[in-house]
Amino acid sequence: MILKIKLWLSQPVDIASLIAYRILFGLLMLWGLGRFWWNGWIERSFVEPTFFFSYYGFSWLPSPHSLNIYAIFVLGILASILVTLGLFYRLASVVLFLSFFYIEFIDLSNYLNHYYLLILLSFLNIFLPLNRNLSLDCKFLGLPSWNQTPFGTLFLLRSQVAFVYFFAGIAKVGSDWLWEAQPINLWMSAHADLPLLGPWLTKTVVHYFMAWGGFLFDSTIWIFLLLPLTRPWAFVVVVVFHFFTWLFFPIGLFPFIMVSCATLLHSPSWPRAFLGKFLSVSTIPNSVLSNSALLFFSLFLASQIALPLRHFIYPSPLLWTEEGMRFSWKVMVREKNGSVTFKVVDRKSGRTWLVEPSHYLARHQEMEMAGQADMIWQLAKHIEKDFAREGRTVAIYADTWVALNGRAAAQLLDPNLDLTKQKDSLAPKTWFLPPPTDSPERLVAEK
């Protein structure tokens, strides 16, 4: 059985789509890192903030204040160019992965699903033979060209792309998305003034169409892209779908990343029509996937199935507590806005302060933190240390109010819980108050 799998993954397929993917990926990373610089987000995200939220287990990462964050961006940008050109590819891929990983993991409040996808892809790219054709490594450094690649290399990337779509679809089952058309209803009602489309966007039937259409799209589009018969139409749907997400939502590179990645689900030879004359002709040496490579494949894919499903371990409602929310493609399922005030009580004198997060955080950090318990806890611990520097031992309570998908604001955390006495862990937290049980209020059509 294992041998059959290894042979199946080893069978040669055209390398052309992987080469096109490498070029698109490199350009997207170049664009992504470049616009961070261009838009002044480096200052706003890494220079101006005085506090950074850490990912669980990654608090050891050095602060951007202690490193030259601009140098890290320069490294990432250079590596993106080298990946695009296929020059010093392996080294460039490692540098690109490490620099982007650092940039995104240094502050939890910057978490975005598409950044996580780029981290995963840049990690996988290190191990894939994406420089085996149409690369400067082949042209100038004597790396043998391959016309084909083991199917496993394509399979790995295809699986990753399919997981994103599939789990994004599954995330919409049982949530406000399908049954209440929320938060689509909230988002679309704000676009009622758009020319031509505007009046349609206020109609309930359109909201439900978008909600169910989005669910069906996410859950199944990868299948239709893989089938030759449906592929052309499916790709048109992909482009149209992501065009509208780009039009309506401030989601940056995501539509472009997904359209580029969708090309991996096409026939491996699809770029021949464009790149054919540039691709060199040579054959891949016969070999069978090694056991270690198969183990790597298996572990990686298993992790990508387990992570999106881990929220089932947590008893509390996912959208309320967000335990198991990150790294699991829970895309577009919640509109959550919150307000947090920390009540800081001097244990000796009883003196009380009402501390606003804005004292420590940039506005985007504050808004991200407001609905996420682990981040609220991290800031509470930071405030505890801040007051300790002033010679005060304090207890800290959080007054947290959160509005989820159009419901009235409700308290997220127990306001009588001293956060300084709590410890963060991956275990389910007992800090939460029950979520609101009412259905979200629906916005009606604007005249």
Give the contact letters, 180-209, x = binds to other proteins (CB under 8 A), - = no: ------xx-xxxxxx---------------
Which H or E element spans position 243? Answer: helix 231-248
Q: Which is nearer to other proteins, 113 or 159 (CB)?
A: 113
125 binds other proteins (CB under 8 A): no
* 250-259 core/surface letters (b: 16 or more CB in 10 A; e: else): ebbbbbbbbb
In DSSP notation, 337-364 reads EEEEEEEEEETTT--EEEE-GGGTS-HH
Burial class (CB in 10 A: 0-12, 13-18, 19+), 395: middle
Complex with other proteins: residue 40 or 232, whichever CB lies closer: 40
Contacting other proteins within 405-444 (CB under 8 A): 405-406, 408-409, 441-444
Q: Strand, helix or coil at 148?
A: strand
State yes or no: residue 254 binds other proteins (CB under 8 A).
yes
Smallest distance, other proteins to C-beta of residue 87, A: 30
The token pair at 443 is 């916005």
Does 53 interact with other proteins (rule: CB under 8 A)? no
Which one among 65, 203, 348, 359 touches other proteins, defined by CB under 8 A?
359
Q: Is 179 helix (H, G, I), strand (E, B) or coil?
A: helix
* Nearest distance, CB of residue 253 and other proteins, angstroms: 9
We find the least distance from the C-beta atom of residue 335 to other proteins, in angstroms, to be 6
| Nearest-approach distance from CB 225 to other proteins, in angstroms | 20
Closest to other proteins by CB, 14 vs 368, is 368
Q: Quote the CA–CA distance of 412 and 425 in Å, as a whole number.
A: 18
Binding span for other proteins by CB under 8 A among 73-81, 145-153, 395-403, 420-428: 395-403
- 3-state DSSP assignment of residue 294: helix
Of 54, 93, 99, 113, the one binding other proteins by CB under 8 A: 113
CB 293 → other proteins: shortest distance, Å? 32
- What is the closest distance, in whole angstroms, from the C-beta atom of residue 263 to other proteins in the complex? 19
Of 45 and 153, the one with the shorter C-beta distance to other proteins is 45
Q: Is 274 left (phi over 0), alpha (psi -120 to 50) or beta?
A: alpha
**Host H or E run for residue 11:** none
Select 386 or 424, whichever has its Cβ closest to other proteins: 386
Q: Which run of H or of E encompasses 400?
A: strand 394-404
DSSP codes joined into one string, 206-236: HHHHHHHHHHHHHHHHHHHHHSTTTHHHHHH
Task: Report the residue number, 156 or 186, with the smaller CB distance to other proteins.
Answer: 186
Give the Cα separation of 395 and 401 in Å (integer). Answer: 20
| CA dist., res. 263 & res. 234, Å (int) | 11
- Using CB under 8 A as the binding rule, whether residue 45 contacts other proteins is answered as yes
Site residues for other proteins per CB under 8 A: 39, 41, 44-45, 110-114, 186-187, 189-194, 249-252, 254, 331-332, 334-339, 341, 344, 350-356, 358-359, 362-364, 366-368, 370, 383, 386, 390, 392, 401-403, 405-406, 408-409, 441-444, 446-447
